[in-house]
Structure formats: structure tokens, C-alpha cells
Structure 1
Amino acid sequence: MDKGSFISPLVICFATACLGSTLMAFEITSGLAGHQVLQRGVDGTASVTLKGRSSQAGSLRVSVVRGKHQLRLAGFADRPLARIQAGGWTARLSGLPTGGPYRLRFFVVNDAGAELAAHDVEQVLVGDVWVLAGQSNMVGRAELENVEKPHELVHVFRPEGGWEQAKEPLHERRERNNMVIGAGLGLPFAKEMVRRTNVPVGLIPTA
């Protein structure tokens, strides 16, 4: 074996280790998740407190785009949120207007303006959140025939946790093998509200 072939792997491994050590860990642990519906306030906007963790300090910023064409949302291009330190952090996102779906790109930059890390949250809506409570009539006991189709502005908080686009049956866990009943009132109601108001709807099934 010649000297070059012996040294090269060591050099590659050393370089990889050095690069890996500079990578920044950054995450959002609470406050906002994909497909979440934020309740609008009386001013027609939503505000939320975000918490997370970061391995480095820097300036936390956000950029927001809307819809299929990813149109930039006015006032939310490279918007500063907070100066964060290494470890746990908290920031306040305010004034997100009614509508969506939004893609929010949170990113951290250093003092020179170089991006250190980023985290995207997709399909966020701002609108009205409704709780679906009651008994069997709310859950729905009919066979799943002529099922109401999903709507991009109607999302649901699943019984097992997490937000997604609403689809029947709303009140059942996705891991069930035999979901043949459960077409209830929630999704038709939500779609009618969207049709009348053009305001996104979030559903929380509790029946």
C-alpha cells in the first residue's frame, strides 16, 4: 500500500468530524406544529409563544409564505423574533393574519448574518377552532358512503395527537384496522363555515 492511499481515509474522516462538530442543533419543541390551526383574535390575527432548543446563540427570525404559489406574506420576510442563547429558548410570534395555508421558516443567523440552522413548519392555518362534543350523533354511526371530501382549509387535531387535514372518520384513531363507520357532522359543518366566511377551521373531536 502506498503512503497516499493510507493517509487519504484518515484525512477524510478528520474533515468529516470537523464539519459535523460545526452543525447546529435547532428545534421547536412547543407552540407550533405542522397543519396546526391557530385561533384568531378579535383583530383577525393570531399570536403564539414558541419554545425550543438550540446548540448555539444567534438571532431567531421567521419568513412566511402562503398558498400553492408560496407568496411572501407582507411583514413576515426575514422578521426578527428574538435573540436566543444556547440551550432552551422562548420567542413570541405575533400578528399572523387569518388565512393560510402558511409555511413558516424559522432560522437562526449569527452576528455576520450567516444562517446557522433552519426549521420549517408547513400547512399552518389561522382561523376558528371548534370543539366537536356530544355523543353518538356527533361521532357518526352511519356507514362510510358518500363521504364528505377533505378541504385544504379544514384541519383536525387527531385523537392520538397531532394536526392533519380533516378527513372522515374524525373521531377514530388512525391505527384502527376496520374504520367503516364514523361519518359525522363535523366535516360538513366546517366546510360550510369556510364557504360562508372564507375563514379556515380547526376541529377538535372529543365526542
Structure 2
Amino acid sequence: MLMQNFWLFLPACFALNMAFGPNNVLSLSNGARDGVWYSIAAAFGRLLAFAAMIAIAGLGLGALLLASETLFTALKLGGAAYLVWLGIKLFCAGPAHFSSAAKDAGANSERPSDKLRRLAKQEFLVAAGNPKAILIFTAFFPQFVDRSAYAMSFIMLGATFLLLELVAIAIYAMLGAKLGTLTNGASRFQWLNRASGTMMVGFGLALAFLRRPTS
């Protein structure tokens, strides 16, 4: 891949990483509730899903998925349903469960390792259930691939995307942690949960109406 194309890829890619989507809402919410490092660690579930999608797109299977109306619709509706369910769950969560006072007092009986595994699974499923991610890797990446060194350039693009995604995760986690300190009262934190849950439901409904790209 020509270096000039790579420097065009970087800002465009980071804009995609920073887009306010469902996974970044999770990083924001997890950062507010559990802190920066917990949110970043959980988001490795998202990175795993994206890495798998990049490999699928690199092998040409992503284009096949987008070309199939049945597969695309199944992935789209499954992802939309999960986002709506997750949003409702977050919206209905009680303030005591999310307040930092309760957390510091050890009110949550869930073990840290189990909690981290659950949050990482949420990140993975939200990322894997969004066909727009496959669209990025099958439609956006090829514009910057060096045809004379396809495999190496695609790997380079994928690694760069994942690195920039990690930066975006850290930014949203820090923003969430800052919001957490500003909304440490139970009622205010519940307002944050409801706002995040509403946005998650909105993303789910938008995903349900996403149309399959036409060639």
C-alpha cells in the first residue's frame, strides 16, 4: 500500500472508530460505572469480534455475506434485537446497582472476573451483530489495499483499525469515568443509565431498518 494512501486512511479510519455507535455507548457506560481500566478490558471482546470480521473480509467472505439477503437480514435482525434488549436492561437498571457508593461497599455480589467476562461478552455480541462493521471492512478497506501486496496491506489496515479502535475505546472510557464522577448520586446515575439505554434501543431500531447495500 502506498504511504500516501495510508496517511489518507488514518484520519478516515479514526473518524469511523470515534463514531458514536452502540459499542462506544457501552464503553461510556462501563467507564462511568466501573472505571477506565475495567471498560477498556471489557472492550477487548469487541476487538476480538472486529479481528474475526477483518479476517472474514480479507478472505472475501464478507462480500458474500453482504450479497446474501437472507444472511444479511438474519444478522441485522439478530443484532437489532440484542441491542434493544440490552438497552431496555440498561434503562431499567436500578440506581443502587450502578451507584459508586454501592460498588465501593461491595454491594454487588458478582465476582470481578465474572463481571468482566459478562461485559466482554456484551461487547463481542454487539460488535458481531452489527453488519455495518462488515460493510466497513468489505467496502472501505479495499479502497486502500495495495493489489500487488494484498495480504500484507489488508493485515496492515486491519491492525491499524484495531489500534485506533483501542484509542477510541480509551477516550470513551475516560469520558464515561468523568461522567461517573459528575453523576455519583443515585438518581443522577439512574438518569445516565436511562439515557444510555434509550440510545442503545435507538441504535437497535436503526439497525433493524438498515438496508443491504446494492452492487
TM-score, length-scaled by structure 2: 0.26
Q: Which has the larger radius of gyration?
A: 1
Q: Could you state the TM-score of these two structures normalised by the residue count of structure 1?
A: 0.27
Q: Which one has a larger percent strand, Structure 1 or Structure 2? A: 1
